[in-house]
Structure formats: C-alpha cells, structure tokens
Copies of this chain bind each other. A is one copy, B any other.
Amino acid sequence: MDSTQTRRTALQGAAQEAQRIADPVVGAGEPMFDLIELMFFAYRDFVGDADHLLENFGLGRAHHRVLHFVNRRPGLTIAELLEILKITKQSLNRVLKDLLDQDYVESRPGVNDRRQRQLFPTAQGKTLALDVARLQSRRFARVFAHLRDGARADAIDFLLAMVDAGERDKVAALVGARPVLAAPGPRR
C-alpha cells in the first residue's frame, strides 16, 4: 500500500551531506549531467507524441494543455485554469478561443458565481483529449514493461518530488497522486 511508507524526514540531511563530501567539485557536488540531459530528451519525445497527433487537427501544444485539463476537470473556471497552467489570461484566451470556436470546449456561466465561466469538453473534445492521453499512456506502458515492478509508482514519486515544494500539494491533489512525497517510503 502506498501508505506503508509514510514516515521519516531525517535521512535527507545525511544523503545530501554524503553527496556533497563525495565530490570534490565546488558548490554542491558533481552536476548530474545525465539526469539534466535525460529530462530534456525524455520530455521532448514525450510531448512529441501529443504534438504529432494534434497537428493533424491544426492544434498546438498550448491547445492541448487546455483541452487536457478541461477534460480532466470539467467545470473548471478560467481562474483555475490559469492557476494550473501558470500563464496569463491573454495567452490562455487565444488558444481557448480556438477551442471554443472549433467546438472542442464549451463554456457556461458559473453555477454559483455567474461572473465565472465554467469550461466543459464537448463530445469531440473528450474524444480528442482521450486519444492523446492514450497515445501518451502507450509510451508509459512500453516504458514500464521494461522496468521492474515498482517502477511506475517510483516514477510518480520522482516526478512529484521534482515539482516546486510550494506547488507540490496542489499538483498532488490535481493528479490524484497521494502525497507520498512529504514522507517517503521503503528506506534502505
């Protein structure tokens, strides 16, 4: 169970200290060039899946992000979307307008607050969003088919830990991942 590993905060210091001492290089240890570069290559190919599929529809990466989150959280407001994407409303509006015009997304006045706009995917919006998600999921499926059993849970922990600390709880809640992070798991 993921909660088997819900306790401890002390190892942090030791590991970091060991890492620092192990490397003669100034500052804070030998740069992790391998991980730095792998983040670049892995992300590039990962988003490539979505890019390639969506270009058939004349939609770009920005459209995809909006469609994805609207599909994932139907009823999302503009403000919530801006908070998730961390872009300006002008940037959002440009792509959102396309999605509305082309009937991938529809907007209705907020239920509680009619100043707000709640966003919903249309039938074709859902289909497209799911098509992309499945394509991306196939990449993950191929990946984990080659890795050991806990690899998927480990990847989730790793990626969540990579998120800025101040954002981590929000992200964890959004993606539905249990915030294992604050209290890591199976120690040595």
Contact = CB atoms under 8 A, between A and B. Distances in A.
Interface of A: 1-6, 8, 11-13, 15-16, 19, 23, 25, 27-46, 48, 65, 68, 72, 86, 126-127, 130-131, 133-134, 136-164, 167, 171, 174-178, 181, 184-188
A147 B175 contact: no
A131 B23 CA distance: 12
B137 A36 contact: yes
Query: Could you tell me the dominant secondary structure of chain A's interface residues?
Result: helix
Contacts of A162: 41-42, 45-46, 139, 143
A55 B136 CA distance: 32
Given A28-B134, A137-B28, A186-B148, A38 B72 contact: no
A41 B37 CA distance: 17
A148 B188 contact: yes
Count of this chain's copies in the oligomeric assembly: 2
Nearest to A37: B175
B139 A38 contact: no
Nearest to A69: B37
Given A41-B171, A42-B159, A131 B25 contact: yes
A27 B145 contact: no
A32 B137 contact: yes
Contact of A164 (B3, B45, B72): B45
A18 to B, nearest CB: 10
A85 to B, nearest CB: 9
A133 B28 CA distance: 10
A167 B30 CA distance: 26
A19 B134 CA distance: 13
Contact of A174 (B37, B138, B149): B37
